[in-house]
Amino acid sequence: MAESICRSLRDGALEGELAPTLTIKDSLASPFSFNVFSHILLQLSSQKSQSHGIVIVALSRSPSFYADFLKNKGVELSSSNKWIHILDCYTDPLGWKDKARKSGNVNVVSDQISLATSSYKSVKDMDKLFLAITDLGRGLVGENKVRFCVAIDSLSKLLRHASLQSVAGLLSNLRSHDQISSIFGLLHSDLHEERATAALEYMSSMVASVEPDHHSSENCLSEKNFTQGKFSVRSKRRNGRVRETSEKFKVEAEGISFASISAEDGTTVAGLLPKVQFNLQLSEKEQIDRAKVVLPFEHQGNGKPIQIYDGRRSLEESSGEGAPISRCKNEDSALGEIIYFRDSDDEMPDSDEDPDDDLDI
């Protein structure tokens, strides 16, 4: 549940415990991890939590994007530099623009952003990144026991710039830092090998997966897949138990909204029937009439032997093999009876199984 994730992140870490970490995972079929990420960011910015500040490590969106986003959602930005700080790894992650400026070819264009931003130009160095994040965080909340939260714009981008070991090391260091309250980041699962995704999932206390409603084998894109889908959360509790929940989500202009999966949305038999111009279902009367139909090879129980014509009268006297069940009954009627249990009584009409499968001819 999206609400419970936000609550866990807001509650933060206990003394001596690793900080709760959330990984939001998606794929090209339903690429909405950033919508979930920004939703959580908004929740943490606007509600009381253990953390007194947020450090956003921005790799795939510009700082001005975050400033506009928070402003549009009504977050007051004038006092924001007391509780939010962006580590800008988007504008110049490898220092190319810096080098161009040093060689005197390009003029500096200063950007007016309403959020406190520090640029970071060595995104391939995870140790330096860790120091930058923690310095920024301490700058926001001070040196005491006060904690801050870390939001990583894209773990996928980090994995592209550095090895899995160093990214895992970074996450591990962040989790064990005693001033970090919680961490959340997003990951595109189809950009990495399975072991990379698995390693990061293992290090997270909560994994939220964004999936399309229906998995299709072809690469068909429908507008439906691009506005809604399934949101599954797997969270590890403190006592070691793992809890899995699922919700539906819908992406609208205002943002992302979550709703629980209700009974009507589960596929029912009626839902599976194709929409054609003739009626494929049976009415009540039709079902009763159908139950009354006398079927061949079945005893009606009125004591009389039933003669069923099988087209082989000429062989009746001479051979006894290949006889239908009723003939056996003729011979044994004095000694016993054959009780025939219909297996197909348990099945609904129109089920896929061939009713003639039971016959023993």
Cα 310 to Cα 324: distance, rounded to the nearest angstrom: 8
Range in contact with another protein (rule: CB under 8 A) among 78-86, 93-101, 140-148, 260-268: 93-101
| Segment 45 to 64, residues that bind another protein, using CB under 8 A | 60, 62, 64
- Whichever of 99 and 243 has its CB closer to another protein, that residue is 99
Distance of closest approach, residue 253 Cβ to another protein, in angstroms: 5
Q: Which of 358, 361, 324 is nearest to 341 (CA)?
A: 358
Per-residue binding letters, 168-197, with another protein (x by CB under 8 A): --------------------x-xxxx----
For the segment 145-164, give every residue that binds another protein (CB under 8 A).
156, 160-161
Whole-number minimum distance, CB 135 to another protein, in Å? Answer: 24
For another protein, the closer of residues 11 and 68 by Cβ is 68
Cα–Cα distance for residue pair 89/73, rounded to 1 Å: 24
* Minimum distance, C-beta of residue 271 to another protein, in the bound complex (Å): 24
**Residue 31 engages another protein in binding (rule: CB under 8 A):** yes
Cα–Cα distance measured from residue 153 to residue 184, given in angstroms and rounded to the nearest whole number: 9
Least separation in angstroms between CB 188 and another protein: 6
Q: 83, 226, 258, 297: which one contacts another protein (CB under 8 A)?
A: 226
141 burial type by CB count under 10 A (0-12 exposed, 13-18 middle, 19+ buried): buried
Place of tokens 């003669």: 307
How far apart CA 141 and CA 84 sit, in angstroms, is: 10
Smallest separation, CB 150 to another protein (Å): 22
Q: Which of 15, 143, 223, 244 binds another protein (CB under 8 A)?
A: 223
Of 11, 43, 65, 122, the one binding another protein (CB under 8 A) is 65
Instruction: Point out which span in 36-44, 49-57, 223-231, 336-344 binds another protein (CB under 8 A).
Output: 223-231
Question: Do residues 58 and 86 touch, judged by C-beta distance below 8 A?
Answer: yes
Segment 252-271, which members bind another protein (CB under 8 A)?
Answer: 252-253
Taking CB under 8 A as the criterion, the residue among 17, 111, 286, 289 binding another protein is 111
Q: How many residues bind to another protein according to rule CB under 8 A?
A: 36
User: Which parts of this chain interact with another protein (CB under 8 A)?
Assistant: 28, 31, 60, 62, 64-65, 90-94, 96-97, 99-100, 105-107, 109, 111, 156, 160-161, 188, 190-193, 221-223, 226-227, 251-253
